[in-house]
Structure 1
Amino acid sequence: MSYLYDFFYGGFRPASNTNEQPIKDDQALRTKLKRTRYKISSLVMLTNRQRAEASKNVPKYLFRMWDARSGGNSKLNTTKAVTPLAFASSKGHNSVYDMTRTEFITNTSLHLTGCDSVVTEFSSWSHSPYFAFYFTMQRSSSGTFHVAIMDTEELAKSNPAFHVPALGKIFGKSYGYVYEEEYLVHGVIEGQFYKAVPYNQLCKLGLLKQLPGLNKSGISASNPNAFRLLPGEEENYTTDELRQLRKIVLPYGDTFSLPMAIVLFCCKKRPGYWSELSASDLDTIITVLGGWEKIPHDWCSSRSVFSKNVYPKNWDANEQVQNLMEALYTHCYGKGARGNEKRYAARYAKAEVDEEDIIGAMASMSVSRGDADEISTEGGAEQTLARKPTQNGARGFTGNK
């Protein structure tokens, strides 16, 4: 291990009583790890409230692409869990705070530099959905690639996440800790707040048709600057476009299909980065997402929704995602929300009544034989099946079915 001390500490072997004790017993270091964006040089303990806030300075949703063959073991990445190599071999710590300073620095540094021999306790995730989608598209020929999402706020206790540049500042390291798009998440990630879907399945549902900018060659995935700006000119949305994007993400299930839909809405450059959306626009988007009650009330406690200091700066997709989430939450639960909901309910109640009148009128009309489909039963008897009007519903695509 002496070469690791030379590599990480420039030949200086740190005092064992500081670097060999568990992080949970090193109050100063533990505080630093929990506050990512507070002033790193200060060793003064934060108040409990500040520490709680600091632990949320990671985006609520992080994204990961993985191949079933990654890591040389098909059990490491599955639709049920992401299992870092150390935990697959029962060598991982129960908590990241059980690691010593030396273990933490060694493990994260070797992980980030791509050392084949590291038994990592971490998995890599990105704040940028566009980066994850594009990175997957560039490597999707094998058919075993998946796009995963996790809720860091729900998994904060079991799977703490750390922004890579923040770790570099904490430990005074620059080499290897420069990946602004990357977060390291500790432990086995599994359960309700993790979901992975095959990339090919998303493509079959129309991902590249709706987001042709992903089908672009000649950009190096190792250059994050290529993914900061969304390609093309600003585009206004259409209701049909949003409905198609909503359908694409239904495989992400009840927990994640709504945030993934918002992500896809924001993978095109929108006017003003959706910083100013009208009440009518928000009503339309809410309808496509499934209705007023689908907008999560617990977003109220998410710094990703309301703080401009959570996401790294100058990433188009992230800016749009945050703007849209904040606008949706404020429209549904903020000032004036009660009036917004009454107007919304009246608007769509009238639309439903109008549609029911049309459907009722059409149902009462006689259907001639030329307007019917003839189908045969197994016994050979013919039946007529009247063509019914398509009922998409004025409230839009509800999903979750």
Structure 2
Amino acid sequence: MLEVSNIEPITGVRRAYFEDLRKNNVPQFLFRTWSSKSGGGPEHATNSVKEIIPHGFMERASGSGFYEKAESELYKMVAMHFSNDNSPWFSSEFSSWTGSLHLALYYARSIDEQHDPHVAVIDTRQLDEEVLVWHVPHLYYEGGLHEYMAHGPIRGIGYKAVSYKALMSSGLANVFPELGQDDISKFGFNLRNQMFNGPPNPFPEDEMENSDEIKQIRKIADLYDHLSLPVATGLICLRPRPWIRSQPEGRAALEQAAKLFAGAELPSDFERGNWLREGVVLTESHMDSMTFPDVRQ
């Protein structure tokens, strides 16, 4: 994690360590829910279907500059962003993301519709500018499993946002009826644990392709155009499936589901990177009770 006592920029072996974390232990695809009040509102940050510009990048040239800053400065910025500090003098250069579409959708549900919530997806390797992304436990706090921090403006073919209203109109409530349940957390932590403590949800045998659920998932995911595949994957994994168990029938069910989306458009540089290996991306922590079985699945 970052050290508050280091007043010099991160260099050498330590920089290589942080680069390895972001390149090999962060999902290629991440989700974010934003609204008209995100980042303090449009006067402080931009959140739109075209781009996301954090407060700290609103009035200066593009370019990361992450490793040009003193490590102590980075530590303070991460800490204040994570704690949602609204001090008038604070200007964050990060936007917040999650590996869990389950979390993003439940958070969108918690936002008043007058603020026009949107659910976005990014392919971290297909953005117009280099954006550096870390999991919060890499930088600051081991219990921050729910959040990834992206440093830099988000724009380009690797970004797509769709309004929550459009998702609901396309049948989201049919795919995720649990959105109607109340949870003490706006991120749906209790709901997720409850859902994944139950038995796996199989698709109808020999009728998966024509099942109503798959049809609805396709319809919703298609709203994300060329980024439909990660969204479809997230929608399928909103609840436990047979392949979450390491059994032959579970593997067969996974292969069957994968074939349904075999024709979906893949990003040009898609690869089965280190982040797809079991256990590489953190999904649970001894620090608290938060867990992300949907991401693990």
Shorter-chain TM-score above 0.5: yes
Q: 1:315 aligns with which of 281, 292, 295?
A: 292
**Cα distance between partner residues in 2 of 1:93 and 1:99:** 13
1:89 lines up with 2:59 in the alignment: yes
Displacement of 1:281 in angstroms is 6.0
> What is the alpha-carbon distance in structure 1 between the residues aligned to residue 277 and residue 259 of structure 2?
19
Q: Distance in 2 between matches of 1:95 and 1:208?
A: 42
Matched, 1:180 2:145: yes
Determine what percentage of the aligned residue pairs are the same residue: 29
Counterpart of 1:270 in structure 2 is 241
| Deviation (angstroms), 1:32 | 3.1
Which residue of 286, 303, 307 maps to 2:259? 286
Q: Structure 1 residues 150-159 or 105-114, which shifts more?
A: 150-159
Q: Distance in 1 between matches of 2:30 and 2:18?
A: 18
Task: Indicate the residue corresponding to 2:79 in structure 1.
Answer: 109
Q: 1:73 aligns with which of 34, 39, 42?
A: 42
CA gap of 1:103–1:198, structure 2 versus 1, over 3 A, is: same
Secondary structure at 1:65 match in 2: strand
**How many angstroms does 1:284 deviate by?**
5.4
The equivalent residue for 2:218 is 246
Contact 1:207 1:248 in 2 (8 A): yes
Q: What residue in structure 1 maps to residue 274 of structure 2?
A: 303
Find the aligned partners of 2:27 and 2:68 in 1 and give their Cα distance. Answer: 24
User: How many residues of Structure 1 are paired with residues of Structure 2 in the alignment?
Assistant: 276
Match of 1:399 in 2: none
For structure 1, the residue ranges without an aligned partner over 5 or more in a row are 1-7, 37-53, 169-173, 321-401
Deviations 1:251-298 (A, max 9, x none): 1011x11111111011122235264545576345423x2x45756785
Distance 1:113 1:93, change over 3 A: farther
CA-based RMSD: 2.9
Asked whether 1:61 is paired with 2:38, we answer no
Match of 1:130 in 2: 102
Q: Based on CA coordinates, which of the two structures has the bigger radius of gyration?
A: 1
Match of 1:51 in 2: none
Work out which of the residue numbers 4, 27, 30 in structure 1 matches 2:12.
Answer: 27
Following the alignment from structure 1 to structure 2, what is the Cα–Cα distance between the partners of residues 139 and 101?
35
Distance 2:257 2:136 in 1: 38
The question of whether the paired residues in 1 share the 8 Å contact of 2:129 and 2:155 is answered with no
Other structure's SS at 2:200 match:
coil
More helix by share: 1
* Residues 299 and 244 (structure 1), Cα distance of their counterparts in 2 relative to 1, 3 Å cut: same
| 1:190-223 deviation per Cα after TM superposition (whole angstroms, max 9, x unaligned) | 1011111101100000001221122211331267
Distance (whole Å) between structure 2 residues aligned to residue 286 and residue 96 of structure 1: 41
Residues 1:131 and 1:293: Cα distance change in structure 2 (over 3 Å): closer
SS in 1 for 2:47: coil
Q: Which residue of 2 aligns with 1:171?
A: none
Deviates more, 1:55-64 or 1:307-316: 307-316
Residue from 198, 202, 211 that aligns with 1:236: 202
CA separation of 1:165 and 1:228: change in aligned 2, threshold 3 A: farther
TM-score computed with the length of structure 2 as normaliser: 0.81
Runs of at least 5 residues in structure 2 that lack an aligned partner in the other structure: 285-290
1:33 & 1:156 partners in 2: Cα distance? 22
Check whether the contact 1:59–1:304 (CA below 8 A) recurs between aligned residues: yes
- One-letter amino acid of the counterpart of residue 84, structure 1: P
Structure 1 runs of 4+ aligned residues shifted over 4 Å read: 222-226, 278-281, 291-299
Q: Which is worse superposed, 204-213 or 70-79?
A: 70-79
Q: 1:181 touches 1:224 (CA, 8 Å); kept in 2?
A: no
Distance in 2 between residues matched to 1:234 and 1:56, nearest whole Å? 29
Quick one: distance in 2 between partners of 1:297 and 1:308? 26
**CA–CA separation in structure 2 for the residues paired with 1:274 and 1:182:** 26
Are 2:118 and 1:146 aligned? Answer: yes
Q: Which gives a bigger RCO, structure 1 or 2 (Cα 8 Å, sep 6+)?
A: 2
User: Using a 3 Å threshold, how does the CA distance of structure 1 residues 281 and 223 change in structure 2: closer, same or farther?
Assistant: closer
Q: After superposition, what is the alpha-carbon deviation per residue over 1:88-143, rounded to whole angstroms, capped at 9, x for unaligned? A: 12287633112221221121111112221220000111111111111111114325
- Taking the aligned partners of 2:228 and 2:294, their CA distance within structure 1 comes to 17
Query: Amino acid of the residue matched to residue 129 of structure 1?
Result: L
CA contact (8 A) 1:229 1:315 kept: no
Map residues 317-332 of structure 1 onto 2, 5 A cutoff: 317-320=294-297
SS at match of 2:46: coil
